[in-house]
Structure 1
Amino acid sequence: MSPAARFRGLPLRSRLALLVAVAVALAVAAVAGVSWVMVRAQLNDQLNQSLVATDPNEQVLRTLREGCATRPAQTVPNIAEELNATVQIVTADGDRCLVDGRTDLPVTQADQQVASTPNSSRLHDVTTADGVDMRVYTKSASLPGGQRFAISIAKPLADIDKPLSTLAWVLLLVSGVGVVGAGAAGLWVARTGLRPVDELTGVVEHIARTEDLTVRIPEEGDDEIARLSRSFNSMTAALASSQERQAQLIADAGHELRTPLTSLRTNIELLARSEETGRAIPPEDRRELLASVKAQMTELAALIGDLQELSRPDAAPHGPLGVVALHEIAASALSRARLRGPELVFTSALEPWYVRGEAAALERAVVNVLDNAVKFSPPGGAVEVSLRAGELTVRDHGPGIPAEDLPHVFERFWRSPSARALPGSGLGLSIVARTAARAGGSAELRAAPDGAGGTEALLRIPGAPTPPPSQMTG
């Protein structure tokens, strides 16, 4: 398994703690490295400045030169202590004279060049024969008599190496403590920060196990976890509401189906018993039974169709979308309504109006509105239909709807007390409202504004009085 796969396999809090520790380790390492380099550069600069600032006076130079006049080289006492450095005379031909007697400084080509060049100097590192690393400053010098030579002043690099080594160990120790502390702090922060996530996980697991959608997560603060909690609570509330509506729909559908099924079963049992016993039913009664069976089957078919329509999701249409002529749909629905209410007087004024929607659904909605008007109109009554500026109005002269019942007319299976004895499922107006909303419009039912009784249904759908240049279908 690759390291990346192993890392992804760790728990989230462990990954967070590890990432925090790695981030702190990198930051501490960067800070420690930069600090060490800066201190090293500062110490080197100070060492160079101290070597350059060591300026033997003429008396010292003469003493040094006289101390080297004898071969082999002689040690000149007190000079090294006076200058606080290792001092060595270098001639242009490479001869040297040890001053402090502690170590020899290797003579380099640079030293000889400085000895032969007036007013020159050079800084460089050397390693002595006994393995001591030295920082050397070589500068040209001369005696009043014109004798030229170079003086090398050296100090051991251990003067800065030891503090740097100590600093490195201190930085390493502090970095290690910092990384360990950061890891522990990261683990604590991860546990504290993910506690709401753990609570959310527990609630989700509880809901998955018990299907109890009433459980809610405490909402504290305004951070991302609180937003997640609020979103989850909203989701569970919506699911609970949807589940409740589904249960109510099933219960209402079962209640509505029970009546026509019971009546249908009773009529069929009467017909079957007549066939089994050989006792014929009078022709008039038989015709009434068959007409009742046919009406009940039609009612069942309409109820099942309405249930199928309402069971479809609200989000998307289930038929082809296109630009349709609402006035033509209203005219077609009006022709069907005239057949269902031949004793009624229909008047219409339909202005052209084009909308974008699902033609079959819109026609079903208009038919439902007209059927409602036909159902509640008295014999010989009038039904007035008009379409102006996208507002379809259907007015009947029936008993009207009480004001306290108007807020419920678009609810599924709701039927007013006066309408429960009439055929219907209580789903027609629900379908009308949903179809209008899907087309971007609205539906409304209100008492007739002229005060003459009856009900006025309004279906508003946005559109235009003329079709667009190109009618695109969805």
Structure 2
Amino acid sequence: MRRGSLRSRLTLLVTIAVAVAIAVCAGLSWLIVERQLISQLDQTIMEPEGPGDQRWLKEHCTPQGTSDFFGYATLLYADGSTCSLGPPIVVTEPDKRLTTDRAEPVYRDGRTTGGRAVRVVTVNFEPGVAVMEARPLYHVQRTMRNLAIALGAVAALGVLGAAWAGMAVSRAALAPVGRLTKAVEHIAQTEDLDIRIPVEGTDEIARLGSSFNAMTAALAGSRDRQQQLVADAGHELRTPLTTLRTNIDLLLRSEQTGRRLDPGAKERLLVNVKAQFAELSTLVGDLLQLARGDTDHEPHVELALHDVVTAAVGRARLRGAEVTTDLQPWYVVGNAASLERAVLNLIDNAAKFGPGQVEVALRGGVLTVRDQGPGIPEEDLPHVFERFWRSSSARGLPGSGLGLAIVAQAVAEAGGDARLANAPGGGVIATIKLPGTLTSRS
């Protein structure tokens, strides 16, 4: 069976809840009124005044009952015989026990021998005799029947009102959800991530709208970054590809025309081609790293940052860098491969731009990498972590301009912060701060 809409289900639930509440209240009201009427009737049965007095009853009753008495009164003897005024009351076992037992009076619903419903009270009159007096239940039953009809009508009106109220409540409560649904459908059809939902208040629906707006903003930002990355990559790839095509065309033309190139020139062309391929390989690798960082979110685990730095220093030394270290233990939560790549990029940068040794230190969760180079112009410092950005002094050196962007991305994923500044006394100092502890938690 197909489920209805959320609005219809909410309306149905509100209607059912109100209907049940009304039914319970009506039932309790009916029972309370009935109990009150019966209690009032019980209080009038055993009044000692008037023809119901027990001694007067004993003098005028007959075994078959009388027809000239409009009440109901019966004397019950221990041997089971009765003497009644009015129609005799049907005797029960609790009534018989009161002929010999001076216990509390017994109040019950009963009948006369003619079949009329009555309210009966039985008390011990004297040793061996109990008296039963009764009042007809006709007026009580009629009142309760009329009350049941009135309560049923009120309950029906209440259910109809609850259904209307449920529709109004569901329409008002689900209006923001309807706007959210339309926004999602619009995005699915148009891929327009710039749409925003108006948010009012601080309730759960408002929080849902805020979360949706934050999600679309994040998706729009991711899409913009991807588009910018593609545009920047296309721009950066154009130069080495053009150079490669030119050099290869020159080599092919010399072979096809039979005009052999000078061996020295040919060697220089081949070296240039090899260098361009190496540059392309580095650029593609860096692009893949950035792309994975934007889309892949591997689970982070606790790791020893000092061990990660040690591994990066070892790889840098294999590449010919001179590195000195001063590492203290520090445990962080992150991705070991990404952080190792970030540290290696910083060391490679320091070795490339600064002669002499690279100083790497890790103290109190702060990692510093310092070179002995000429430093970076102050106006260039705000741009050092931008993708494909290279300072004027570095454009003649090998590299793709993505190394520091990879550093910033890896550190941000681990919840840290990366900075670059000119060090006192010369050179550049790169600083990475990562939250963590001095001892492992595992």
Give the TM-score normalised by the residue count of structure 2.
Answer: 0.84
State the alpha-carbon separation in 2 of the partners of residues 318 and 114 from structure 1. 85
| Cα distance, 1:175 vs structure 2 | 1.2
State the alpha-carbon separation in 1 of the partners of residues 15 and 207 from structure 2. 28
| Equivalent residues in 2 for 1:128-277, closer than 5 Å | 128-138=112-122, 152-277=132-257
Q: What is residue 430 of structure 2 aligned with on the other side?
A: 457
Q: Is the 8 A contact 1:329 1:362 kept in 2?
A: no
Q: Is the 8 A contact 1:432 1:443 kept in 2?
A: yes
State the alpha-carbon separation in 2 of the partners of residues 405 and 119 from structure 1. 107
1:287 corresponds, among 260, 267, 271, to 267
One-letter code of the match for 1:316?
E
Structure 2 SS opposite 1:237: helix
Matched, 1:336 2:319: yes
Matched, 1:387 2:381: no
| Cα distance, 1:460 vs structure 2 | 5.3
* Residue 73 to residue 447, structure 1, CA distance change in 2 (3 Å): closer
* Residue 449 to residue 153, structure 1, CA distance change in 2 (3 Å): same
State which drifts further: 267-276 or 356-365.
356-365
| Cα distance, 1:362 vs structure 2 | 5.1
Q: Is the 8 A contact 2:64 2:88 kept in 1?
A: no
Q: What is residue 284 of structure 2 aligned with on the other side?
A: 304
Q: Is the 8 A contact 1:25 1:179 kept in 2?
A: yes
Deviations 1:109-141 (A, max 9, x none): 777776788999654444234431122345566
Q: What is residue 39 of structure 2 aligned with on the other side?
A: 45
Structure 1 SS opposite 2:46: helix
| Equivalent residues in 2 for 1:74-89, closer than 5 Å | 80=70, 85-87=71-73
2:345 corresponds, among 368, 389, 400, to 368
| Equivalent residues in 2 for 1:393-412, closer than 5 Å | 393-398=369-374, 400-412=375-387
State the alpha-carbon separation in 2 of the partners of residues 120 and 417 from structure 1. 112
Deviations 1:251-297 (A, max 9, x none): 00011001000000000000000000001112222122111111111
State the alpha-carbon separation in 2 of the partners of residues 331 and 262 from structure 1. 36
| Cα distance, 1:239 vs structure 2 | 0.2
One-letter code of the match for 1:457?
A
Structure 2 SS opposite 1:214: coil
| Cα distance, 1:462 vs structure 2 | 7.4
Matched, 1:96 2:83: yes
State which drifts further: 281-290 or 388-397.
388-397
Q: What is residue 343 of structure 1 aligned with on the other side?
A: none
State the alpha-carbon separation in 2 of the partners of residues 239 and 204 from structure 1. 13
State the alpha-carbon separation in 2 of the partners of residues 54 and 162 from structure 1. 27
State the alpha-carbon separation in 1 of the partners of residues 417 and 136 from structure 2. 95
Q: Is the 8 A contact 1:326 1:355 kept in 2?
A: no
State the alpha-carbon separation in 1 of the partners of residues 360 and 109 from structure 2. 107
Structure 1 SS opposite 2:293: coil
State the alpha-carbon separation in 2 of the partners of residues 291 and 119 from structure 1. 123
Max radius of gyration: which structure? Answer: 1
Q: What is residue 390 of structure 2 aligned with on the other side?
A: 415
Q: Is the 8 A contact 1:317 1:358 kept in 2?
A: yes
Q: Is the 8 A contact 2:298 2:335 kept in 1?
A: no
Structure 1 SS opposite 2:120: strand
Q: Is the 8 A contact 2:254 2:260 kept in 1?
A: yes
State the alpha-carbon separation in 1 of the partners of residues 300 and 98 from structure 2. 98
Give the TM-score normalised by the residue count of structure 1.
Answer: 0.78
Deviations 1:335-364 (A, max 9, x none): 5245xxxxxxx6x53234456676665554
Q: Is the 8 A contact 1:354 1:463 kept in 2?
A: no
State the alpha-carbon separation in 1 of the partners of residues 77 and 302 from structure 2. 106
State the alpha-carbon separation in 2 of the partners of residues 463 and 116 from structure 1. 90
One-letter code of the match for 2:146?
T
Matched, 1:324 2:311: no
Q: Is the 8 A contact 2:309 2:343 kept in 1?
A: no
Q: What is residue 341 of structure 1 aligned with on the other side?
A: none
State the alpha-carbon separation in 1 of the partners of residues 328 and 104 from structure 2. 103
Deviations 1:293-315 (A, max 9, x none): 11111100110111111111363
Q: Is the 8 A contact 1:119 1:141 kept in 2?
A: no
One-letter code of the match for 1:456?
I
State the alpha-carbon separation in 1 of the partners of residues 32 and 317 from structure 2. 93
State the alpha-carbon separation in 2 of the partners of residues 359 and 97 from structure 1. 103
| Cα distance, 1:420 vs structure 2 | 3.2
Structure 2 SS opposite 1:219: coil
Structure 2 SS opposite 1:312: helix
* Residue 318 to residue 63, structure 1, CA distance change in 2 (3 Å): closer
Q: Is the 8 A contact 2:60 2:85 kept in 1?
A: no
Q: Is the 8 A contact 1:327 1:351 kept in 2?
A: no
Runs (5+) with no aligned partner, structure 1: 339-345
Q: Is the 8 A contact 2:357 2:372 kept in 1?
A: yes
Paired positions, count: 434
* Residue 409 to residue 96, structure 1, CA distance change in 2 (3 Å): same
Structure 2 SS opposite 1:413: coil
One-letter code of the match for 1:12?
L
* Residue 383 to residue 317, structure 1, CA distance change in 2 (3 Å): farther
Deviations 1:134-174 (A, max 9, x none): 223455668xxx9x976543311112111111111111111
State the alpha-carbon separation in 2 of the partners of residues 106 and 464 from structure 1. 90
Runs (5+) with no aligned partner, structure 2: none
Deviations 1:25-79 (A, max 9, x none): 2212211222222222222221111111244489x7676555458x997766xx7
Structure 1 SS opposite 2:220: helix
Q: What is residue 342 of structure 1 aligned with on the other side?
A: none
